[in-house]
């Protein structure tokens, strides 16, 4: 299969001389030289970088590679939190702000490295007090408050494995993830704030664990003063527990390959995959990319707008910046609360210098109007970044001009939950940028575009984006399912990691990502498996069959369209569409709610019974059906489906 890419974009922006002069990597020739060396001998390259972390025991072998299973820094021992916290207490960073937090209603808190260290050590002792041990899985379901980071770091401190579930996911989603990772302990909050509303986190947890005797402890952080149910003997308050412990919690060294966290993400089946990351390699990826790609300086005020529930939050809100001793802004709520200038106000108030956000947010800001950023002084910004989906050139240009004052470089960073850290990106002082391309691979990353047979394609031909060599922050497996890990990532193209993305490389070697090639949608920068939404729909009593596809969406990148056939005897309410949308919201979370539901007597199928998604995509996108329909069983279905009744 070849993928066509029609986008032609010729604007080139050189890094400013001023930025380049101060940058770690100051020109393209230097990047190319270092990149070449890093690919010629990745082990040597990574070993040199890894030596800058703090190890309690040195490794004996940089990489043990039995495709597709990697072990990095074999025999080495380290503690992630010693690298993120203790290290910084020894010098000038001791009293530097680590986290500057603002709640949606406007409360402000600052934690210095010293204070964050203290909180993490205390909470790690709370975990121990509750009999949580090395290797135990702990599910974290929190609002975006410093305690979310503290909970993650406390797990890392004692070698427990965290699995953060985004606070926007439903009780059902928590249930599935608990069952898969086998966590016996949940850390949550009474609630959180989102767009002026309260998110009832503890209530969702209660529903998720109802009748689940395996859950022996729920630790509840008081955030929202909600009246919640406390189950005697199972639930405890965070603040009460903290009264029983000291801040003395030594950072024991864990094996470099000890699991650090599991993070669930959507794949092409109905069941989310538990992506497993381990200690040394992940920390190295997080630390080194943050420092190099954001060209981090001691006096930066760095803001990554992602929630800790996503990989971006893990790597670029928690582990990466803290491993570099950075000052991070953390904001709990919505970008348009109480007004659409909240982000710009935060930037002006705190003097943010680096802003890392998502194209979907940028498109929403464009829609809300230029007057909102214009009200604020954004001159503190020196670098901008985007992540999560392809950025359309108009959004890129708006970001550059209206937010970056045509002065700040933009790093369009391509990566995935699985890759752990940024893989393809400009280096802000070195790489000339063009709107819409993530440009060049990062050091040590051997990215290529190949055809179905695994052969590298010439410039400007679309194909599969693969990574040909292992890298330290790569996923190690799908939790509990090595076979699925192999099948999913390592069989499509021999001896290569297949990203699931399509892309092309232009004549300068720049990568243009065209999007997912599998049945995964990218809705507002978040991955959503069509099969997940389908099984949520089918779990409703009225639904016989469902097929879900994406359609272009101005703000969200992709919108969700569901084609549904109902059971013969189903009771059809007038508001069935709304009922089904709500049902999907309850089964997965609000982000998965279909934008459009179309009812049909039948779905277009091949003679062998396979749903013809390609046709549905064309219908959902609003265009006529242009593709081949020769294998379609019943042509009249198409005509019916094309008519939307709203
Ligand atoms: O399709 C690519 C898209 O997001 C997918 C990864 O999603 P997730 O694991 O949720 O991680 C998102 C944050 C790292 C990729 O397979 N994607 C991510 N970044 C970009 C992108 N597509 C184009 N350009 C990007 N910069």
pLDDT tens column, 509-525: 999 999 999 889 999 98
**String of DSSP letters for 521-569:** EEETTEEEEHHHHHHHHHTSTTEEEEEEEEEEETTTEEEEEEEEEE-TT
CA-nearest of 214, 215, 186 to 202 is 186
Tell whether 26 is covered by a domain: no
For a mutational test of ligand 1's pocket, the pick from 415, 435, 441, 510, i.e. the residue with the most ligand atoms closer than 8 A to its C-beta, is 415
Tell whether 615 is covered by a domain: yes
Residue that has been written with the tokens 């219908």 in this structure: 619
What tens digit of pLDDT does each residue of 338-376 get? 999 999 999 999 999 999 999 999 999 999 999 999 999
What tens digit of pLDDT does each residue of 320-334 get? 999 999 999 999 999
Tell whether 588 is covered by a domain: yes
- The predicted pLDDT at position 1 comes to 38
- The predicted pLDDT at position 92 comes to 94
Region 269-275: mean pLDDT is 89
- Of all residues in the chain, the percent with pLDDT exceeding 70 is 96
- d(Cα 184, Cα 138) in Å, to the nearest integer? 7
Closest-CA residue, ligand 1 atom 15, reads: 416
Tell whether 454 is covered by a domain: no
Q: Is it the case that residue 2 has pLDDT exceeding 70?
A: no
Based on its alpha-carbon atoms, the radius of gyration of the chain, rounded to whole angstroms, reads: 24
Tell whether 311 is covered by a domain: no
- The predicted pLDDT at position 573 comes to 80
Whether residue 311 has its Cβ less than 6 Å from ligand 1: yes
Closest-CA residue, ligand 1 atom 6, reads: 416
- The predicted pLDDT at position 270 comes to 79
Whether residue 524 has its Cβ less than 6 Å from ligand 1: no
Q: Three-state DSSP class for 294?
A: coil
Region 98-120: mean pLDDT is 98
Tokens of 48: 């040199």
- The predicted pLDDT at position 641 comes to 72
Q: Is it the case that residue 635 has pLDDT exceeding 90?
A: no
- d(Cα 474, Cα 68) in Å, to the nearest integer? 11
pTM: predicted TM-score of the whole model, two decimal places: 0.94
- Four-CA torsion 477, 478, 483, 488, nearest 10 degrees: -100
pLDDT bracket for residue 267 (50, 70, 90): confident
Q: Is it the case that residue 45 has pLDDT exceeding 60?
A: yes
**Range(s) of the domain holding residue 634:** 520-642
3-state secondary structure 220-283: EECCCCCCCCCCCCCEEEHHHHHCCCCCCCCCCCEECCCEEEEEEECCCCCCCEEEEEECHHHH
Tell whether 590 is covered by a domain: yes
CATH for 537: 3.30.300.30
pLDDT bracket for residue 625 (50, 70, 90): low
Closest-CA residue, ligand 1 atom 5, reads: 416
Whether residue 516 has its Cβ less than 6 Å from ligand 1: yes
Residue that has been written with the tokens 């400009």 in this structure: 426
- The predicted pLDDT at position 40 comes to 98
pLDDT bracket for residue 433 (50, 70, 90): very high
Q: CA 102, 106, 112 angle in degrees (round to 5)?
A: 30
Q: Domain tally for the chain?
A: 1
What tens digit of pLDDT does each residue of 558-613 get? 999 999 999 888 877 889 999 999 999 999 999 999 999 999 888 888 777 788 88
- The predicted pLDDT at position 627 comes to 67
Tell whether 552 is covered by a domain: yes
Tell whether 402 is covered by a domain: no
For a mutational test of ligand 1's pocket, the pick from 304, 513, 514, 524, i.e. the residue with the most ligand atoms closer than 8 A to its C-beta, is 513
Region 289-312: mean pLDDT is 98
Whether residue 564 has its Cβ less than 6 Å from ligand 1: no
For a mutational test of ligand 1's pocket, the pick from 286, 389, 523, 526, i.e. the residue with the most ligand atoms closer than 8 A to its C-beta, is 389
Mean pLDDT (the chain) is: 94
* Nearest atom of ligand 1 to the alpha carbon of 415: 14
Region 519-541: mean pLDDT is 91
- The predicted pLDDT at position 89 comes to 98
Burial 466-493 (b: 16+ CB within 10 A, else e): bbbbbbbbbbbbbbebeebbeebbbebb
From residue 210, how far is each of 131, 226, 388, 512, 515 by CA, in Å?
Answer: 22, 20, 34, 47, 39
């Amino acid at each position: 299969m070849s993928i066509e890419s029609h986008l032609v974009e010729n604007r080139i922006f050189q890094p400013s001389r001023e930025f380049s002069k101060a940058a770690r990597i100051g020109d393209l020739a230097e990047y190319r030289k270092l990149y070449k060396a890093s690919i010629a001998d990745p082990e040597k390259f990574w070993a040199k970088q890894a030596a800058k972390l703090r190890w309690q025991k040195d490794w004996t072998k940089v990489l043990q590679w039995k495709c597709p299973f990697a072990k990095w820094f074999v025999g080495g021992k380290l503690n992630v939190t010693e690298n993120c916290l203790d290290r910084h207490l020894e010098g000038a960073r001791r009293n530097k702000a680590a986290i500057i937090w603002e709640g949606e209603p406007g409360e402000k808190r600052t934690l210095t490295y010293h204070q964050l260290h203290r909180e993490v050590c205390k909470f790690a002792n709370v975990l121990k007090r509750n009999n949580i041990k090395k290797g135990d899985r702990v599910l974290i379901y929190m609002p975006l408050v410093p305690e979310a980071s503290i909970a993650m770091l406390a797990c890392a401190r004692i070698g427990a494995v965290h699995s953060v579930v985004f606070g926007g996911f439903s009780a059902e989603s928590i249930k599935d993830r608990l069952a898969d990772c086998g966590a016996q302990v949940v850390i949550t909050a009474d609630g959180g704030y989102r767009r002026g509303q309260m998110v009832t986190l503890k209530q969702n947890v209660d529903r998720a664990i109802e009748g689940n005797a395996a859950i022996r402890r729920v630790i509840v952080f008081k955030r929202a003063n909600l009246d919640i149910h406390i189950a005697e003997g199972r639930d405890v308050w965070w603040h009460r527990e903290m009264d029983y412990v000291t801040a003395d919690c030594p950072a024991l060294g864990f094996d470099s390959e000890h699991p650090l966290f599991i993070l669930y993400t959507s794949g092409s089946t109905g069941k989310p995959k538990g992506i497993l990351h381990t200690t040394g390699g992940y920390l190295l990826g997080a630390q080194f990319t943050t420092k190099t790609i954001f060209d981090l300086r001691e006096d930066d005020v760095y803001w990554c707008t992602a929630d800790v529930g996503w990989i971006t939050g893990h790597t670029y809100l928690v582990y990466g910046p803290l491993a570099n001793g950075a000052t991070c802004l953390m904001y709990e709520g919505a970008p348009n609360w109480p007004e659409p200038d909240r982000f710009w106000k935060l930037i002006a108030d705190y003097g943010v210098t680096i802003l890392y956000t998502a194209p979907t947010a940028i498109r929403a800001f464009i829609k809300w109007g230029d007057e909102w950023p214009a009200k604020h002084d954004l001159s503190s910004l020196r670098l901008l970044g985007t992540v999560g989906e392809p950025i359309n050139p108009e959004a890129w240009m708006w970001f550059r001009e209206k937010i970056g004052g045509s002065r700040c470089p933009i790093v369009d960073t391509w990566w995935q939950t699985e890759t752990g850290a940024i893989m393809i990106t400009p280096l802000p002082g070195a790489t000339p940028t063009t709107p819409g391309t993530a440009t060049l691979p990062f050091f040590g990353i051997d990215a290529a575009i190949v055809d179905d047979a695994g052969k590298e394609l010439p410039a400007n031909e679309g194909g599969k984006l693969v990574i040909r060599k292992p890298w330290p922050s790569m996923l190690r497996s799908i939790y509990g399912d090595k076979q699925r890990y192999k099948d999913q990532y390592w069989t499509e193209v021999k001896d290569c990691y297949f990203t699931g993305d399509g892309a092309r490389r232009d004549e300068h070697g720049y990568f243009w990502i065209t999007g997912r090639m599998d049945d995964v949608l990218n809705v507002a920068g978040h991955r959503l498996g069509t099969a997940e939404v389908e099984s949520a729909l089918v779990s409703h009593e009225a639904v016989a069959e469902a097929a879900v596809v994406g359609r272009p969406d101005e703000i969200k990148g992709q919108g969700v369209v569901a084609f549904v056939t109902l059971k013969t005897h189903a009771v059809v309410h007038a508001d069935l569409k709304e009922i089904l949308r709500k049902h999907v919201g309850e089964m997965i979370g609000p982000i998965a709610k279909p934008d459009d539901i179309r009812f049909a007597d039948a779905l277009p199928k091949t003679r062998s019974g396979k749903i013809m998604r390609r046709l549905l995509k064309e219908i959902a996108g609003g265009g006529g059906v242009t593709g081949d329909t020769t294998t379609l069983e019943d042509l009249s279905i198409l005509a019916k489906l094309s008519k939307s009744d709203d």
